[in-house]
Amino acid sequence: MHLMTPLDLMMDHDQACAYAKRIAQRLAATAPNRYTLASAPGKRAGRIFIDCLRNGRGTTAIGAWSPRARAGFPIAVPVSWRQVETGIRPDAFTIEKPPHR
């Protein structure tokens, strides 16, 4: 799951990247048994990976409404926090089974 938020602060790209990294580091420091900044799957087992690297120049992230390269072609659909809390599955929506909007 990717969480994104706009910044109301005026800053350039490098400042925004540094800001995101500081937020990620503070979150990981609050509960290191729950959150990690380690991107290697073996180093993050059982923890939530806080990926501030998507903010770097030249990096990519899946866009909303894009099909994923997985079995059944699930679609990356924006969902509400309520849907997240109730356990919506990552493959809930596909090309053949889009959301009802």
Classify burial at 50, counting beta carbons within 10 Å of its beta carbon; exposed 0-12, middle 13-18, buried 19 or more.
buried
Domain tally for the chain? 2
pTM: 0.66
pLDDT in tens, 13-58: 888 888 889 999 999 999 999 999 998 888 888 999 988 877 777 8
Same domain, 13 and 35: yes
Nearest to 2 by CA among 79, 99, 70: 79
What does the angle CA 85 – CA 88 – CA 94 come to, to the nearest 5 degrees?
155
pLDDT in tens, 54-87: 777 787 778 888 998 888 899 999 988 899 899 9
Same domain, 53 and 83: no
Identity (one letter) of the amino acid at 19? Y
Same domain, 54 and 69: no
